[in-house]
């Protein structure tokens, strides 16, 4: 794997792991209501996927040259010639789309899990506690 492609892959992997960590922490915070926790995680994954799609759509060669995947490389590691940056940008766009596809698949699994949990649990959970508290105060 060429250094530019490898660095772009590891950059996107790092970003995905940070988003996954944030989603896991928020899901843990909402663990008192498992369907809600899965919805929160799915929504974060979906927002990340849409962000990657937007980043891929608006990627130009100039923006790619300002990206971390390009600037962190030494001039010797960068693809040479006139076609080099263009091919590297296209590869980076392809990686963005692959990661967006993976994030949307995770979102689908989490939304399906939230739906299944909501359908199989009889405990109304936190929503009933809040509704009862509001009805008693009025």
Convert the pLDDT of each residue in 7-50 to its tens digit: 889 999 999 999 999 999 999 999 888 999 999 999 999 999 99
- Please list, residue by residue across 9-27, b when 16 or more beta carbons sit within 10 angstroms of its beta carbon and e when fewer do: bebbeeebeebbeebeeeb
Q: Measure the CA–CA gap between 101 and 118, rounded to whole angstroms.
A: 26
Q: What is the pTM of this model?
A: 0.81
- In the predicted structure, residue 134 carries a pLDDT above the cut 80: no
Domain enclosing residue 131, as ranges: 3-137
In total, how many domains does the chain have?
Answer: 1
């Amino acid at each position: 794997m060429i250094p530019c492609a490898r660095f772009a892959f590891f950059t996107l992997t790092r970003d995905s792991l940070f988003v996954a960590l944030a989603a896991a922490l928020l899901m843990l915070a909402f663990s008192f209501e498992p369907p809600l926790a899965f919805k929160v995680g799915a929504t974060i994954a979906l927002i990340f996927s849409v962000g990657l799609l937007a980043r891929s759509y608006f990627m130009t060669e100039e923006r790619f040259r300002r990206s971390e995947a390009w600037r962190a490389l030494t001039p010797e590691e960068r693809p040479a010639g006139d076609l080099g940056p263009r091919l590297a940008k296209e590869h980076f766009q392809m990686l963005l789309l692959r990661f967006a596809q993976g994030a949307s698949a995770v979102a689908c699994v989490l939304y399906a899990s939230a739906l299944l949990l909501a359908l199989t649990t009889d405990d109304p959970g936190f929503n009933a506690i809040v509704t009862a508290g509001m009805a008693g105060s009025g």
